[in-house]
Amino acid sequence: MLEKQLKRLRRQKRIRTEMHGTKERPRLCVFRSLSHIYAQLINDDTAKILASASDKGVKLSGDKKEGKTNRKVLVAFEVGKLIAKKAEAQKIEKVIFDRRGIVFHGRVKAVADGAREGGLKF
């Protein structure tokens, strides 16, 4: 493995030891690849995924396609709003945000902002 990947894995393990999702307050886990972004609500007590959302289920309206901002960031914001909507359907208000060792900016921050706008509290 590359040094950069090893550092990220160490950060991920350190962060993960401190957080534990429950039914009342699940863990909002964000995974970012080069072309897609995924978000899951996880109950660590039962090791079950309560809800999930990805950019594959998000369509941007015509207004948002024309802007100068990065399209991936706009899609990530919509993914955050979608996961918040699914959490609201299950009566979940509070979550623990798990960024998995990724720096909190760009698409990861956009998911968090979208989830906050959708009504989730971190």
**Going from the N-terminus, what domains does the chain have, and what CATH number goes with each?**
3-118 (3.30.420.100)
Residue 3: other Cβ atoms inside 10 A:
7
CA of residue 57 relative to chain centroid, distance: 14
Per-residue burial over 30-65, b if 16 or more Cβ lie within 10 Å, else e, is bebeeeebbbbbbbeeeeeebbebbbeebeeeeeee
- What letter does residue 110 receive in the DSSP assignment? H
pLDDT, one tens digit per residue, over 27-81 is 999 999 999 999 999 999 999 999 999 999 887 765 555 555 688 999 999 999 9
Q: What is the DSSP string of 51-102?
A: EEEEGGG----HHHHTSSS-HHHHHHHHHHHHHHHHHHHTT--B-EEE-TT-
At residue 87, does pLDDT exceed 70? Answer: yes
Is the pTM for the entire model greater than 0.95? Answer: no
Q: What band does 106 get if pLDDT is binned at 50, 70 and 90? A: very high
In contact, 96 and 122? CB cutoff 8 Å: yes
